[in-house]
Structure formats: structure tokens, C-alpha cells
Amino acid sequence: MNRAPRPAARLATYIALIVLVSIVLYPVMLVLKKAFEPGRAFALSASPLPHAVTLDHFRDLFGAKTGGGDFLFLRHLANSLVAALATTVVGVALSCTAAYALSRFRFPGRATGLQTFLVVQMFPATLLIMPLYVVLDKLHLLNSVLGLVLVYSTTAIPFCVWTLKGYFDTMPRELEEAARIDGASQWMIFRRIMLPLARPGIAVTALFSFMTAWNEFIMASTFMTDESKFTLPVLIQSSVGQFSADWGLFAAGAIVTSLPVMAAFYVLQRSIIGGLTAGAVKG
Amino acid sequence: MTGVLQRQLRDFAVAALLAVAIASAAFVVVRNGDVVDAQLELAQRSAHAVASGQEALPTTHVALVGPSQSSTRHPILRHRDIRQLGEAADRHLDKLFYDAALRIDREHKGAFVEMLHDGTGRAIAATTRDHGPMIVVAVTDVAKPAPYPLLVMIGVLGLGALLAAAGALVGRAAARAGTLTGIATLAIPALLWHAWIAATAIILLAAATTILQRAELTDQFSSGMRRHRVALGFLAPVAVAMFVLVAVPFVIGIVLGFYDHHQGTWTYVGLQNFRDILGGGTGGLDDGTNFWFVLGVTVLWTGVNVFFHVTIGVALALVLSRSWLRGKGVFRMLLILPWAIPNYITALIWKGMFQGEYGAVNSLLHAAHLDGVSWFTSWSTAFSANVITNTWLGFPFMMVVALGALETIPKELYEAASVDGASAWQRFRHITLPHLRPALGPAVALGSIWTFNMFNVIFLVSGGKPGDTTNILVTDAYRWAFERGDKYGMAAAYATLIFLILRLLTILGSRLAREKEPA
Amino acid sequence: MKALLLALCLAACGGPHGIVLWHAYNGDERTAIEVTAAAWNAAHPDQELTLVAVPYDAFADKLSSAIPRGNGPDLFIYPQDRIGDWADAGVLEPIEFWVDDARADRFTDNGLAAMAYHDSLYGLPMTVKSLALYYRTDLVATPPRTTDDLMALVPMMKAKNGFALAYANVDLYGHAPWLHGFGGKIMDDAGHLSIATPEAAAAMTFARDLVTSGAVPKDAEGPLIASLFNEGRAATVMSGPWFMADIAKDKDTGAYSVPWAVTTLPIISATGRPAAPFASAEGILMSARATDKDTAFAVMDFLSSDASAITRAKLAHQVPANPHAFDDPAIAKDAALVVFERQLEHVVTTPKAPGMRAVWTPYRTALGEVLAGRAEPGPRLLAVEREVKSYTEPK
């Protein structure tokens, strides 16, 4: 639309947008308010402004300790960090080579392989949660971060392979062909030429894997019993459990946990959407 | 000549590896079974011996346990006399004797024999005596399991290899015979151990290998591996990981659907679980435990959500793509916020907002002089609460996709159209929409899948309330597994059904998409 | 060789040495149990006791699924209402073998009875929790003795935009004082359901009237009730000993910044009977799969001793199930603990028959609907009874 409408219509549009944005932002403002307002109930009034300001919730969040004197929140943060980092490393490391092979080589079963990766991505992890529970139990990996990393990798790998393959697809083949003429082996080409060039794609994939593992809640909650092994999402969810809801702690924890991933998300939006829809379109 | 021998031994090695694995597994199972049987028999005979007035058998400890008597001061407490026979009375066993007597009294069956659950490999047997209330209990010592017959396996393996090699050296037909007999020799130990299933499996393996050899498939496969070995090398890590972490649990999940799980024991029930689920359980069509009801809720949930996502998303995208609009970046950034927040946090925030008396939503309603709503005590309001939450976090995705698509529309098209006198609606229908469709298509597909499987919102916002009626398929499956008495078998069957439904939907969806696409 | 491997495996796979105990405590109660556990560890360095905190919501489910597979704790602390279920499922170890008369003398008869099921004893009681009436001494001059006294507070509190009473009215546990005060019950002594009775309907009508007359907030639970009480918008609160941790304290001095006191629950004016809450005894229970049962019992014995009970009472206001704990001067002077002890004269022990577990959710849904005015008590209770029967009766 190019012709600018009358000022009245323009004003109406702006007003509508502002109203809509306020509606969308309202829950976020409530959480911000709750994080700074004393008391454990969620909201005694609908106003988005706190009636009193306190840092108690943040103090409780960071200061909570176990009987042994370890800081709980730091433990949870460490658990989340370890799980997410390990998942990312495992996922990306294992997937690079496979994505390259799927992009560049022709071999029997390639099409089926691609199709499988796409299909596996679409199925909810919650379907596998029960057999994974039984498997982890037999391996005595329940209630351990290693078990969690293994499970998160099942969702990370298909996504990593798919996205990296798409990224490799966009890279020109001339460099590889030149290197092959010069006599370099496939592995050398991959390591010395493709990997360095693919760094931006790898970074995006890695960051997105990290975010997915960082935000995962239900598996961590099901597989972990010991509170000191909880990841951040489980901590936050258990602070508003059925019988003892501490909304102040929840709000503080929610803010601290989501800020990093939100920042990452904003940085990555375009790549994420590009990756998601391109994959679906190309099929 | 050496080429033939080499290939023969290669095929033998692969098949033999499998056969040894099968034989070893059979050995462990049989061996354990034998140990258990021996222990049970020992315990039972010892208990009966003492019950009929004879001596206890060696390597068993026997005791006589009296009837349960109430304490006078505390009638709730009950005690029994425990008299161990023999010289070396092991007081640590007293509790075992007590528990056994307790069980005899409770079960009224007169006797029992079983293995202890503490992993020590001991058996316990108890029986009543013909005269008197005393109960005889016998406990065996720890048993030593038989060692792995390494020499036997090596011998058989060597014999098999010899047969295979000999056959290869003689001629083509003999080579096949050599393979067959070579692998079949590995079935001999299994036969000796009475492991019929394992023996049959190994013989079938021998036959299969021979047939494959004859059809030259083994050679083809081997050369194929060599030709694509670079690709295989690159793929190996992911293949292994996917096999262990996805394929194996997946297969386990399907298999478990044919079993029933009750307090730690699995019993085969065939298609019973599937029949129970598809039969709708015990409730009527409007009951939360009825599969069809939950399926209906899930379909409705998906449809309603995607409708709102697309409508709101596209509408916002259209507004935000007006060229005269200022502050696009800011608006866009703020409107993406719901998508950026981790969705479990979103779900919990909205759960707090929908809380009864003082939740923010009800407070706003009160401020508008409307009655508050008790959100989670009726189906329609609980479902709406879920939909509102999911719409809030879902529309940004559609909005961004639509924005991207709108950016690709050349402005000249609109100019030309308005010069031709087309109305706003016509411009939308003939220019905007066709450009939106290819981008929205996959986005709607993805969004539908995500919504169909949206565990966190349903689980955390309404929690299935009221009474499990707002569950969707994935949360219901979770509840079967972890909340309704650990019915893992049922949950596995349920998950298999969900998987089949999803697969069907995605196939249908892609077929529809293919038909709609212009050439 | 194989035997050696087997033994090694048993040693490794047998789990960590020492005793593992699961609990669902928060705040002061958690500090208390950690202090008593530390006392054990100091006295028995070679038999380490490890505490594991598990969130309350998932506690029972995780236990039920872990123990039958040999994975759970050796000991755990939980209220008595699941003892029937768990004993039947073989999750609990009967412990009367180790408990002689001398040990049993340590506890109240009620406390011990709460841990018993079908001729066996399954745990040692740690504390008994029930409800009492907290009130703001600056808003209420004399503690209300009857429900009419409570209603008399309504006009004054309404003027302050507040309530006369705040309690978890949609939950059966919170509603129970009225239920029993009107003569209703959930189960009779034989374990048969007795839900749909005129008395129970009368109790529900009473609860609904409290809401419609503005005496009570419509849909209240823990944190909200605490906020209302602390802000002076609820004159009285019906809650348990755990509520004391939620009352506002001055951060620096630790003293309460809100003037309050606690008294026993009022008498129902309509029937003349005292409001009687559920009494739920929390005990320490032993898993049937515990590896070292003798040591596990020694830990149970220690944690339920008089000394431990006194520590827990001092640190967390846990009402001791050991009558001799009240000999301690500090405990005897604690007004709140004494009130809760006295309330035990008018309580109904939470039934622990297996069917009880299926009652809570349907009853809660029914309460929600009746209090919101969407259903009538009589028919709704009939529906509850039918629903619970369908869950508990074998198909």
C-alpha cells in the first residue's frame, strides 16, 4: 500500500497498535512487577505497577542454600549450563559431518535419511519420554545430568543435521572442486575448507540447540528427583507447585532465566525462521 | 583362490559374531534360571524336612516362628517368637523369618517359596506344620553361578571357521555348505543348554547367511560399503547416536505397548492395551479418560489455535507493512516478545493470571464491573484459558513469516492495480494472498504440528482440569505413564497410537500441499 | 571369577553406603530436619545419612515408581494417608519387628495408631498436623468461640474491604472442619464411603453461605491467604502450623511484624459441635527395598526421638508426636504448639484406606462448583460418591 490514508485513519491505526502491544505486554509487566513486589501471592491487584519495591525475591533466589551450605540457585544454574552446553557440543559435533555428507555426497539411502531427519524433528519428545525413562532406569542414569544430556541430544541432533545441511547447501562447490583437483582428501576438504566457512551456520545452530536445552522442562522434571540436580526450568516450575506457590520467587527466577535466551532469540530470529521454513519448503 | 577364502571368512566372521552373541545371551538366561531353580528347591526341601521333624539341609538356615501376639501395653504392636535351629544363629536373619511368617498368615495359602528381592541370590521357603501354630522358615545361602564356558565357545568357533574355510577351498557349492554347517555348529552349545529358541535362531541365521551369499548380496553389500566408505565415515557418528537414542527407545516404546506393567512386573497382553484405548476406556464419550474424547479435544485445540495465530499474525503483518508506518522496528520487537519468552514460563505466568479470586484476569473483569470467572472449574473456560495462552505465544511466529512474505511483494504490482481501479479487497485477494500462501503454507504446517504437541501449555495452565477433560493427546499419554499408577504398557501403546496419527496427518498434509502447488 | 564379578557388581550397584532419606520440606521444617540429620551424622560418621529434597507435588508419584524397581530411598517422610495404598503395593516395610513396648511408650496412642495398618506398623510418627484458628489481635479483641462470633466480624471487615475469615475453602482438607462439625464424614470405620449425607450437604451449604455473605474470599489458597492476613484484610485464618512461617516478620529483628495469636477452632453454632479438622500424622516410613534395614531403623528411631522432636518443635513449630517433648520448658511455653496440641482432642484422623486417595480431586471439583453457585450440594455429593466408587471398586 503506497497511498497514505487520511490522518484520522493513521491515528486510529497507531492507537490500535499501541493498545494491542499493551495487551501483549501486560503479562510481562505483571511478572516484572511481581519480581519486585513483596509477598508470595501472584497479584492482589491488576495494576502493572508494584505498590512497594523490594529486592527480597532476588535475594531469596540467589541466597537459597541447601543444608550443606551450597547455593541452590548456583547449583541449578550450573546444572542447566552443563546440560545445555554438553547437548550443544554433542549435537553440533556429531551433526557437522553428517550434514556435510547429506549435502555433498550421493549414496543409497540418502533420500530416506533426509526424510527420516525431517520426520523425527516433528515428533514430540514427550512421546519418547516413557521408553527413555525405562532405558535410563536400566542404565542407572536417572537423576543424573549425563542422562539428561543424552536425552536432549535426541532432539538436538535431527535439528542440527537438518539446519547445517541446509546451510552447506547454500555454499558454492567451486572451492571444494578446486581442492579436489589439487589432490586433497575429502576429510581434508571438510576440515580445512568447509568447516571454517560454515562457522556462522554452526554458531546459529549451536545457539539454537543451547536455547532448546536451556528451556526444556518436562524431561528434566520427570527424570530428576533430587532437588540439587534440578535445572532452572524445574526450579521455576516447582516454585509454583500445587501446594506451596511462591510467585515472587517464580517471577525473579523467570526474569533471570529468560533474559539470556531472549537476547539470543532476538539475535537469531531471522536465521531461525529461515531455517524452519526453508527446510519445510524444500522438503 | 585366496579371494574366495577371504570373502568366505569375512561372511563367516560377521555371522559368527551374531551367533556367539545369541548363544552367550542364551547361556546367561539358562544359567540364571538353573541357579534360581536349584535354590528354590533347596529352600523348599529344607523347610519340609524340618516341618516333618527331620534335620535342616546343609547350607540352609531354618527357624521356627510363633504366632503373632499383641503387646498388652500397646495392642497395636504385635510380636512373634523366633527360634533359630542349629548352632550358629544369625540374628540378622530374624527379620527375614518374621516377614515370611507374616506373609504366611496374610496369604492363607499354607506355604510359599521364592527368591529374596535383595539381589543376594538367596531363596526363602516357609510352610506351616500339621500340628501347632509354629511356622517353619528356611533361607538358603548365597549361590555361586556357573562360570562362562569360554573353552567350549572357542572350540566351537574354531570348528565352525574350519568348516567354512574347507568348503571355500573345495568349490562353490561346497562353500555354501561350509557356511551353513560352520555357523550351525555354533548352535550346538545352545542345544546342549536346552536353549531351543537360541538354537533355532542360530540355525536360521546360518540359512540366511547362506542364501545371501548365494545371491551374492554379501559381496555386493561389502563392495557398496567400500565404495561409499567416505560417506559412511562421515555419517557414522550421527547414525550410531540416532540408533541408540532414537531408534532403540522408539522400538522399545512400541514393544512395551504389548505388555502390561504392574508394580515392577511386566506381563505380555498382546493387543489388550490397544483394545482398551481404542475402546474408549470405561468412561463415556465425554469422559477425560476416553481416547476419542481426547483426540477430539486435540483436534479442536489445534484448529482453533492455528486459526487465531494466522488471523492475528497476518492482520498484524499487514498493518506493520504499511509503508507510512513509523516505529516499525519497535512495534515488531515488542510484538515478538511472547515468542521469545520460554514457553513454560509463559504458561506459568498465565496460570497465575487465571487464578480464581485475585488473578489478574479476574481483577480486570472486576474493574470492568463484570463477574470474575472461575477459570478451571468448567470445561469451556479452562479450554479458553489454554487457547488464550497459546494464542498469545503463537501469533508472533505467523506474524513474522507473513511479514517476510509481504516484503517480497513488488510495490509496482499494487501501483498497477490501483491505477487499474482495483479496490482494497481485490488488491488483497489477487496480489497479497497469492504471495502469502507459499510462505504461510509450511508455516501453518509447522504451527499445527507444534500446537498438536504443545505439552507445556496444557500441562501447566489448566493441568487437564477440570477432571482431566482439557488434556490433549500428549499430556494424556504422560499421565498414563507417570500419574495413573505407572501404567507404562498402556502409556506406550497410547504413544504408538499418537505417533501413527501424527504420521497420518503429516502424510495427508504434504499430499495436500503437493496438490495445491502450481506446476 | 564370576562370583567375584558378581560381588563387585553388587557392591557397586547396591547403591551408596549409608541411608538415603527423601522429604518434601521447605523453609523452617527443612532446616529442622537438616539439623537433626546432622546430629545423627556427627554421632555415626560411618553410617552416613543423606537427605534428598523432593518437591511435594511429585513426591508420591516418584516414590511409587522408584521403589518397586529398587531405586528409591531407604526412608522417607510423608503423611499417613497413603500408608494403606503403599502397604498393599508392597512399597513399605513393616517395622513392628524392631519396635518394643518401651519404644512405643514414646509416642501418643493416636500418633502410633496413625502409622498402623492391618496388624502391622509401618512408620514412626514425627508430627501431627491439623488446623487451628489464627487471628489478628489488633482486629479481634476476644478469640471467636463459635461460628456466630466469626460472622459478627463480617460488617467490620467488609468496611475495610476485607474478610472475616480466610481459608482454603475449595480444598477438602480446608473444608473438613465444617464437614465434621456438621456431623458429616468421608468414610465410616469399616472403610466404606459415606460421602453423600445430609450432614455433608449442610456443611457445603454453610461454606457457600460464607462466600455469598462476603465473610470468606471465593477461591483462596496458601500464598493468597497469607497475603490477606498480613495486610490486615483477613481477620482470622484457618490453617496449620506451617502458616506461622508465612506470617510477616521484620527482616532485621526476626520478630513478627503482625500481632497475632492462635486458638482452637470454633464451635459450629448450628450444631453445637466443634469444628474438627483432619489430623494428618507425618511419619518416617521405610522402603521395602531398603538395603540395610537395621541401620535404617536406627535412623528412624533417632529422628523420632524426644530430643529430635524438641529440636523440630523449636526450629519449625512442628507439633511433636512425643508427649514427653512437652516436658521441655521451651516447648511448654510455646502458646501455638500448646493450642495445636489441644486441638488434637477434636480431630478426625485422615482415613488411610486405599480408597481415600481417590476422594480428594472429585471432592475439590464439587466444592468448586458448589461455592461458585453452579451446583447444589446434595446432588453434587451423590455424583462425587459415584465417581469415587467407580475409581476404587474393581472393574
pLDDT value for C298: 94
Grid coordinates standing for C192? 466404606
Residue B484 sits at the chain C interface (C-beta within 8 Å): no
Beta bridge partners of A59: none
Confidence of residue B314 (pLDDT cuts 50, 70, 90): very high
Beta strands in B240-375 (DSSP E): 259-262, 265-268
Grid coordinates standing for A22? 499493551
Torsion sign (Cα): C133, C137, C140, C144: positive
pLDDT tens digits for range B212-221:
888 888 788 8
**For the ranges B56-70, B254-268, C12-26, C192-206, which has the lowest average pLDDT?**
C12-26
Phi, psi (5° rounding) for residue C274?
Answer: -75, 145
**For the ranges A187-191, B310-314, C74-78, which has the lowest average pLDDT?**
A187-191
Asked if the Cβ–Cβ distance from B343 to A215 is below 8 Å, we say yes
Confidence of residue C13 (pLDDT cuts 50, 70, 90): very low
pLDDT value for C263: 94
For the segment C367-383, the average pLDDT, to the nearest whole number, is 88
Give the Cα separation of B255 and B268 in Å (integer): 10
CA-closest candidate to residue B147, choices B35, B305, B263, B293:
B35
Confidence of residue A244 (pLDDT cuts 50, 70, 90): low
Average pLDDT, chain B: 85
Confidence of residue B223 (pLDDT cuts 50, 70, 90): confident
Asked if the Cβ–Cβ distance from A128 to B316 is below 8 Å, we say no
Report whether pLDDT(B488) > 60.
yes
User: Do A201 and A97 have their domain in common?
Assistant: yes
Average pLDDT, chain C: 86
For the segment A171-196, the average pLDDT, to the nearest whole number, is 84
pLDDT tens digits for range C195-232:
999 999 999 999 999 999 999 988 787 778 888 898 89
Report whether pLDDT(C104) > 60.
yes
Q: Is residue A110 domain-resident?
A: yes
CA-closest candidate to residue B435, choices B415, B406, B411:
B406
- Chains linked to C by 3 or more Cβ pairs within 8 Å: A, B
CA-closest candidate to residue A99, choices A171, A178, A207, A181:
A171
Report whether pLDDT(B321) > 60.
yes
CATH of the domain at A196: 1.10.3720.10
Question: 3-class DSSP state for residue B442?
Answer: helix
For residue B117, the chain C residues in CB contact (below 8 A) are 70, 289
For the segment A131-149, the average pLDDT, to the nearest whole number, is 86
Residue C226 sits at the chain A interface (C-beta within 8 Å): yes
Beta bridge partners of B140: B60
CA-closest candidate to residue C52, choices C70, C68, C69, C71:
C71
User: Do A23 and A149 have their domain in common?
Assistant: no
Q: Is residue A150 domain-resident?
A: yes
Residue pointed to by grid coordinates 450432614: C199
User: Do A29 and A128 have their domain in common?
Assistant: no
For the segment C273-296, the average pLDDT, to the nearest whole number, is 92
User: Do A149 and A252 have their domain in common?
Assistant: yes
Residue C214 sits at the chain B interface (C-beta within 8 Å): no
Angle in degrees, 0-180, between the axes of helices A125-138 and B488-516, rounded to the nearest 10: 140
- Chains linked to A by 3 or more Cβ pairs within 8 Å: B, C
Residue pointed to by grid coordinates 503479562: A27
pLDDT tens digits for range B427-482:
888 888 888 888 888 888 888 988 999 999 999 999 888 778 899 999 988 888 88
pLDDT tens digits for range A265-280:
888 777 766 666 555 4
For the segment C126-130, the average pLDDT, to the nearest whole number, is 90
User: Do A121 and A155 have their domain in common?
Assistant: yes
CA-based nearest distance C387→chain B, Å: 11
Boundaries of every domain in chain B: 1-227, 300-471
Phi, psi (5° rounding) for residue B70?
Answer: -80, 145
For the segment B103-129, the average pLDDT, to the nearest whole number, is 84
Give the Cα separation of C331 and C337 in Å (integer): 7
User: Do A49 and A85 have their domain in common?
Assistant: no
pLDDT tens digits for range A75-129:
889 999 999 999 999 888 888 888 888 888 888 888 888 888 877 777 777 788 8
For the segment A1-23, the average pLDDT, to the nearest whole number, is 81
Confidence of residue C309 (pLDDT cuts 50, 70, 90): very high
Percent of chain B residues past pLDDT 90, beyond the cut: 14
The CATH architecture of the domain made up of B300-471 is Orthogonal Bundle (1.10)
Report whether pLDDT(C288) > 80.
yes
For residue A245, the chain C residues in CB contact (below 8 A) are 221-223
Q: Is residue A1 domain-resident?
A: no
Report whether pLDDT(B283) > 70.
no
- B113 Rama class: left (phi>0) / alpha (psi -120 to 50) / beta: beta
pLDDT value for A283: 36
- Give alpha helix (H) positions in chain C: 2-13, 27-43, 56-66, 83-88, 101-104, 109-114, 147-152, 154-159, 172-181, 198-212, 222-230, 293-303, 306-316, 329-333, 335-343, 360-371, 377-392
Q: Which of B76, B118, B147 sits opposite C113 (nearest CB)?
A: B76
pLDDT value for A50: 79
Question: What's the number of domains chain A is made of?
Answer: 2
Asked if the Cβ–Cβ distance from C217 to B357 is below 8 Å, we say yes
Q: Which domains does chain C have, with CATH numbers?
A: 14-129+279-349 (3.40.190.10), 132-276+359-392 (3.40.190.10)
Confidence of residue B352 (pLDDT cuts 50, 70, 90): confident
Testing the interface with B: which of C98, C105, C119 to mutate, by most B Cβ within 10 A? C119
Asked if the Cβ–Cβ distance from C226 to A40 is below 8 Å, we say yes
pLDDT value for B263: 66
- Answer whether the bond into residue C155 is a cis peptide, omega within 30°: no
CA-based nearest distance B428→chain A, Å: 10
Torsion angle defined by CA atoms of residues B164, B165, B168 and B174, in that order, rounded to the nearest 10 degrees: -40
pLDDT value for C368: 85
User: Do A32 and A154 have their domain in common?
Assistant: no
For residue B495, the chain A residues in CB contact (below 8 A) are 127-128, 130
Q: Residue by residue, what is the 3-state secondary structure of B102-114?
A: HHHHHHCCCEEEE
Beta bridge partners of B261: B266
User: Do A16 and A87 have their domain in common?
Assistant: no
Confidence of residue B1 (pLDDT cuts 50, 70, 90): low
Which range of residues forms the domain containing residue A168?
A: 65-282
pLDDT tens digits for range C30-76:
889 999 999 999 999 999 999 988 888 788 888 887 887 778 899 99
pLDDT value for A161: 87
